[in-house]
Amino acid sequence: MDLWSLNVKNAGGSPCLLGSSFREVCGQSGRGSAAAKAAAAAAGSRVFEISAFKKRRPCHAPRPVPHRSLAVRALAKKNNGSNSSSPGNGDHSTPDSSDVNRSNDTASQKSNHKNPDWREFRANLFAREQAEKAESEAHNKDEGHHESKPLGIKWAHPIPVPETGCVLVATEKLDGVRTFERTVVLLLRSGTRHPQEGPFGVVINRPLNKKIKHMNPTNLDLATTFADCSLHFGGPLEASMFLLKSGEKAKLPGFEEVIPGLCFGARNNLDEAAALVKKGVLKPQDFRFFMGYAGWQFDQLREEIESDYWHVAACSSNLICGGSSSSSSGLWEEILQLMGGHYSELSRKPKQDM
């Protein structure tokens, strides 16, 4: 496994960029001399690195308070056949860039046989069902006729089970859990019951208001081609990745499609991604880079959903891909409002005082 990691090191003892929710990995990248790091520490400065690494295991956020242990188990997946939360040699649920490349053999082949508009078709059926329900209720109350509204470019509706490309919307039960409070997680893969193939995704509404160039990257492509790309907090587990908007273009070899018009990549996809930009196929603005990710075991995520820690929803590509980095911070409220009903009411509730 060969992923890229954007390591945030604090050489002077002051708080790191992401605070206590992101693990400090000082000394793990192997980059830079000991003397240089000691000099930085003496000067009270911070050292930021983007480095390649092999076979990194997920980092784990601090243990949550006892009554929140269920939801925050997403921060640390179990070992095979073990109840321990520490990573083991058998845990390969970290997204592997070699798995991304298998999109040409498996995932992409399957998606080639699917109607790319099936999600929108389902959303239209859901909207029609809701309109008929409202019409029936209005008829029972002797109210006027309710006309159904056409599906807009931005839509969202609840679905019963998670699927690749859906979003997990944090409920009020996660208020007070700093890592996941009012987050929207885009599920890059829905996963299987295999212990090494659990579901994983990235938080898409936590912009860091930083660009890659601000982190002094050592990778040439990151330092040049993607220097002005925005950075987002993707989750508490260590291994970073990027999303790219492919739009109406044909499927891009080497990248796995999440929803129509949106793919994801990892460390060993950077060369291909940079080549597409240099050829003019894509623009740097089509990319979003994420520090970290969120991952679960299959039954783990299902248990959290059943315990009402997450609302599961399907959203339009425009809602997920559109807008700027700064506007993504309001995505939690926007999705809940588009879902309507009691979901819309939840979006207006103040945070629970924990």
Pick the CATH number of 71-117+152-347 from 1.25.40.10, 3.40.640.10, 3.40.1740.10, 3.40.50.300: 3.40.1740.10
On the question of pLDDT at 284 being above 50, the answer is: yes
235 or 70: which leads in pLDDT: 235
At residue 305, the pLDDT reads 97
CA dihedral 172→174→176→178, nearest 10 degrees, is -130
Grade residue 144 by pLDDT with cuts at 50, 70 and 90. Answer: low
65 or 101: which leads in pLDDT: 101
Mean pLDDT, residues 218-242 taken together: 93
Mean pLDDT, residues 52-74 taken together: 39
Which percentage of the chain shows pLDDT scores above 70? 62
At residue 134, the pLDDT reads 82
CB atoms within 10 A of CB 43: 10
DSSP 96: P
64 or 307: which leads in pLDDT: 307
What string of DSSP letters covers 3-64? EEEEEEE-SSSSPPTTGGGS---TTTS--S-HHHHHHHHHHT--EEEEEEEESPPPP-PPPP
Among 1-10, 63-72, 254-263, 283-292, the minimum mean pLDDT is found in: 63-72
At residue 142, the pLDDT reads 67
On the question of pLDDT at 342 being above 70, the answer is: yes
Query: What residues does each domain of the chain span?
Result: 71-117+152-347
At residue 99, the pLDDT reads 52
On the question of pLDDT at 43 being above 60, the answer is: no
On the question of pLDDT at 17 being above 50, the answer is: no
Grade residue 266 by pLDDT with cuts at 50, 70 and 90. Answer: confident
User: Which residue has tokens 């029609």?
Assistant: 128
Comparing C-alpha atoms, which of 26, 19, 21, 20 is closest to residue 5? 26
pLDDT digits (tens, 9 = 90+) for 246-260: 887 777 888 999 998
On the question of pLDDT at 225 being above 50, the answer is: yes
On the question of pLDDT at 3 being above 70, the answer is: no
Cα–Cα–Cα angle for 61, 74, 109, nearest 5°?
125
Grade residue 45 by pLDDT with cuts at 50, 70 and 90. Answer: very low
On the question of pLDDT at 148 being above 80, the answer is: no
Which percentage of the chain shows pLDDT scores above 90? 47
At residue 325, the pLDDT reads 58
On the question of pLDDT at 187 being above 90, the answer is: yes
Strands, sheet with 294-295, edge to edge from the N-terminal-most edge strand: 156-158, 310-315, 167-170, 184-189, 200-203, 294-295
At residue 303, the pLDDT reads 97
Q: Which of 78-87, 107-116, 172-181 has the highest mean pLDDT?
A: 172-181
Instruction: Calculate the average pLDDT of the chain.
Output: 74
pTM of the model: 0.69
**Secondary structure percentages of the chain, helix, strand, coil, to 5:** 35, 20, 45
Report yes or no: 264 and 255 within 8 Å, Cβ to Cβ. yes
How many whole angstroms separate alpha carbon 22 and alpha carbon 253? 32
At residue 280, the pLDDT reads 93
At residue 96, the pLDDT reads 56
At residue 307, the pLDDT reads 97
On the question of pLDDT at 306 being above 60, the answer is: yes
On the question of pLDDT at 163 being above 50, the answer is: yes
